Amino acid sequence: MYDFNYHKPDTVADAVALFNAAEDAMYLAGGHTLIPAMKQRLRAPTDLIDLSAIQSLGEIQAKDGSLLIGSTVTHSQVAESEVVSAEAPVLAALASGIGDRQVRNRGTIGGSVANSDPAADYPAAVLGLGASIVTDRREIAADDFFQDMFETALADGELITAIRFPTTASAAYAKFPNPASRYATVGVLVAKTAGGVRVAITGAAASVFRATEMEQVLNDNFSVEALAEVRLASDDMNADIHAGAEYRAHLCGVMAARAVASI
Ligand X SMILES: Cc1cc2nc3c(=O)[nH]c(=O)nc-3n(C[C@H](O)[C@H](O)[C@H](O)COP(=O)(O)OP(=O)(O)OC[C@H]3O[C@@H](n4cnc5c(N)ncnc54)[C@H](O)[C@@H]3O)c2cc1C
Q: What is the DSSP letter of 74?
A: B
What does 17-33 look like in DSSP terms, one character per residue? HHHHHSSSEEEESS-TT
Using CB under 6 A as the binding rule, whether residue 58 contacts ligand X is answered as no
How many other C-beta atoms lie within 10 A of the C-beta of residue 206? Answer: 16
The partner residues of 193 in beta bridges, in order of sequence, read 196
Cβ-proximal residue to ligand X, closest one:
111
Q: Whole-angstrom Cα distance, residue 138 to residue 116? A: 19
Q: CB of 166 within 8 A of CB of 68?
A: no
Least gap, CB of 202 to other proteins (angstroms): 16
Q: What is the DSSP letter of 69?
A: E
Which 143-202 positions form the footprint of ligand X (CB under 6 A)? 159-160, 182-183
Which 34-53 positions form the footprint of other proteins (CB under 8 A)? 41
- Closest residue by Cα to residue 165 from 86, 52, 77: 86
The CA distances from residue 146 to 41, 108, 117, 118, 207, in Å, are 26, 17, 10, 10, 7
Please say which residue, 194 or 233, places its beta carbon nearer to other proteins.
Answer: 233
Residue from 16, 28, 73, 91 in contact with ligand X (CB under 6 A) = 28
Residue from 19, 146, 165, 176 in contact with other proteins (CB under 8 A) = 176
Q: Whole-angstrom Cα distance, residue 73 to residue 60? A: 8
Using CB under 6 A as the binding rule, whether residue 244 contacts ligand X is answered as no
The CA distances from residue 71 to 29, 55, 142, 177, 189, in Å, are 8, 11, 15, 24, 21
Q: Whole-angstrom Cα distance, residue 61 to residue 19? A: 27
Using CB under 6 A as the binding rule, whether residue 242 contacts ligand X is answered as no
Please say which residue, 17 or 103, places its beta carbon nearer to ligand X.
Answer: 103
Using CB under 6 A as the binding rule, whether residue 125 contacts ligand X is answered as no
Secondary structure class of 67 (helix, strand, coil): strand
Q: Whole-angstrom Cα distance, residue 72 to residue 8? A: 14
How many residues make contact with ligand X (CB under 6 A)? 30
**Binder of residue 91, out of other proteins, ligand X, none (CB less than 5 to 8 A by kind):** none
Q: Which stretch binds other proteins (CB under 8 A): 58-66, 142-150, 218-226, 234-242?
A: 234-242
Binding mask 67-86 toward other proteins (x if CB under 8 A, else -) reads --------------------
**Binder of residue 244, out of ligand X, other proteins, none (CB less than 5 to 8 A by kind):** other proteins
Using CB under 8 A as the binding rule, whether residue 89 contacts other proteins is answered as no
Residue from 52, 83, 247, 263 in contact with other proteins (CB under 8 A) = 247
Binding site for other proteins (CB under 8 A): 1-2, 41, 176, 179-181, 183, 240-244, 247, 250-251, 254
Binding site for ligand X (CB under 6 A): 26-34, 51, 71, 75, 98-99, 103, 106-108, 110-112, 114-115, 120-122, 159-160, 182-183
